[in-house]
Structure formats: C-alpha cells, structure tokens
Structure 1
Amino acid sequence: MADRRAARAADRTEAIMRATLDLARETGYAKLSIEAVAARAGVGKHTVYRRWSSRGLLFLDAVLSLNEQGLGYRDTGDIAADLREQMVRAVTLLGRPPWGPLFQALVGEAQHDPEVAAALNQRFVEPQTADTVARLDAAKDRGQLAPDFDAHLAMEILSGPLYYRLLVTQQPLTDAYIDRLLDALFAGMTPRPS
C-alpha cells in the first residue's frame, strides 16, 4: 500500500514538472501559473503547493530535471582538453532548446526571487564550480599550471564570458569561441620558465 502511494506521488510529481516545462516552452515563464500547471498535470493546485512553495521553485526543479547528461570532468591528464570538452558540453546544454531558453528564464527569475537564486546556486552553480576547481587544482598539483594559480578566479574567468553571451548579448556560443577563451586564459596561467 505504501509503495503504491509513493509511486502515485512520484507519478504526480513527474506530471507536474512535465506540465511546467511544456507550458513554459509554449507560453514562456512570465505567463506560467500554478493553476495552469495543475490543470495541465490533472491535479489540484494544492497538490502543487504541497510540493513547491512558489512557481519559481517549481520551475527550478523542472528545469534542473532536464540535466541528465551531467557536466562532470574527465581527467585525461591534459587540462586544456578536459576543460574544452566540459565547456563544449555545457555550451551544448545551455545554448540550445529546450535547456537554453528555460535556463535563461530561470536565471531571470533568480534575479527577483532570493529563494530561487539560493537554490540555483546550491544545486547547479556550486557543484559546477567545485568540479572545475577540483580539476584545475589537480592540474596545478601536476605542475601543468603555475604554483600560485587561483582556481576559483579561473572558474569565474571561464564561466563569465559564457554567461555574458548566453544572457546578455545572446551571441552564439561556439566551439571556436571556447577555443579563443581557453587560449586567452592559458596564456596567463601556464607555469613560467625559471
């Protein structure tokens, strides 16, 4: 009995998140409402509110549920190649539908809703930052980067231009742009001969 109840609850949760994504794609996040989501999912709006306290937190969960491919790093021993591979995967995810436009709307909501901003930071930004810093620190430990190399600053230098293009200028995020970005970054990060 408890297993059946848990399965029904999981099915409802999935239906609500699917309805949220479908409606956000169709009408845009600005027109998304809990009432419309509930109607599309075939549940009462109280069922939605029991799971999520706001439209923004519901949207956050729905969007993050799409990130099935993950953005972790391989460690091939070549820091530039590993960063490039991860950045290409991130750009592919963020730069194309369905994730790209939904993620842009989510970041927009985070500017107005501190709960959404904190949850986005905790569940998406911080894990990506930690993975990048760990990969850069491993390269520094191997002597591939300067001993005084600042991995946290490098993460900001690498991610800033991508978010700038994605959210501000909406210029294309291409493999060639990633190559230019990495070339510029590594010009200042590699160990200098003594």
Structure 2
Amino acid sequence: MTEKEKMLKGERYNSRDAELLGMYHRARKLLNAYNALDSELTAERERILHDLLGGKGKGVWIETPFYCDYGENITIGENTFINTNCIFLDDNTISIGKNGLIAPYVQIYTATHPLRASERIVEEGHGNSYVTSTKPVVIGDNVWIGGNSVIFPGVTIGNNVTIGAGSVVTKSLPDNVLAYGNPCKKIKDL
C-alpha cells in the first residue's frame, strides 16, 4: 500500500514520501499562481482551481489568499463562497456542500497526531519525524461557518448549520442547528 493510500485510509503514513511531496509541491505552485493572480482574471482563476481541487461546482468563489496541503482531496459544491485567509489541510478528504459560506480565517484540519510526545516523535537517521494519521471532514449544504473557526479531523457538519465566529468544532453537528463556542456545541435548533 502506498503512503498516499495509507493517508486516505486514516492509517499512519510518512508525510515525506516522494509521491506526497510531489503532490505538495504541485499544490504550492498552483496556490502561488492563484494567490498572486489579479482578481479580474476570472477565467484564469477558474482554470487554476480546476487544476488544484478534486472537484468544484459552478459558482464557487475562493478569495485569496487561500492555502491547502494538496488540493486534490478537496471538493466544493456549487455556489459556495470561501473568504480570505482560509486554510484547508486536506491530508484526507474535505467535502463541502453547496451554498456554503465560509468566513475569513476558517481552518479545516484532517491530520492528527498521537497525544503523547513519546508516541508522536520518531527518531530517524536524518532527524525526527512525526507520526501522523488522518480523518475526513464533511460539511453539508447551506452551512455558514463564522470567521476564525477551527474544524477538527473527523467532524461532520450537517445541512443548514450556522457555526458562530471563533468556534472550535471538535465533534460532529446534526442538521439545522446553531452552534458556537470552544468547544463548539449546539445552542438551538433552527
């Protein structure tokens, strides 16, 4: 099994594997081009996003700067708006539904590490490496995520959910709720 296959299955993997580094460098080149592009060059923006992302619906708009690890593990549904300075660490899949609003500085993480340093850090001949595994993130349709929120690995956010600014979403949320806080929790049904 390749390191990429291990990564996407949520098993421990080597993030410095040659195939993964190739994907990483490809994404960096595309992100550098996208983030430096004049906002009026919409056709070129579309082309770069098409090359970068695993899937993108019609009407998706991503403000710059935008950051991700690989890009190809991200799918975004139609008419979703992603505001400036978002970071999507797509070491596993990140699936975002249609009609989403993702505010500035939202961070979506799929990578995780053992809590104990003795289990997390592995000494190797060329230096230390870090034990990493992943969990996918799923965000439903019609979701609004407030600014500076953080979405943890393995979280599923249901349809029609509003998440208040500054939330740290550590657990999945059902459809049709308002949730906020650190840790984020359901406040009421919508």
Greater relative CO, 1 or 2 (CA 8 Å, sep 6+):
1
Both structures adopt the same fold (TM-score exceeding 0.5): no
Structure with larger Rg: 1
Q: Could you state the TM-score of these two structures normalised by the residue count of structure 2?
A: 0.27
Structure holding more strand per residue = 2
Structure holding more helix per residue = 1
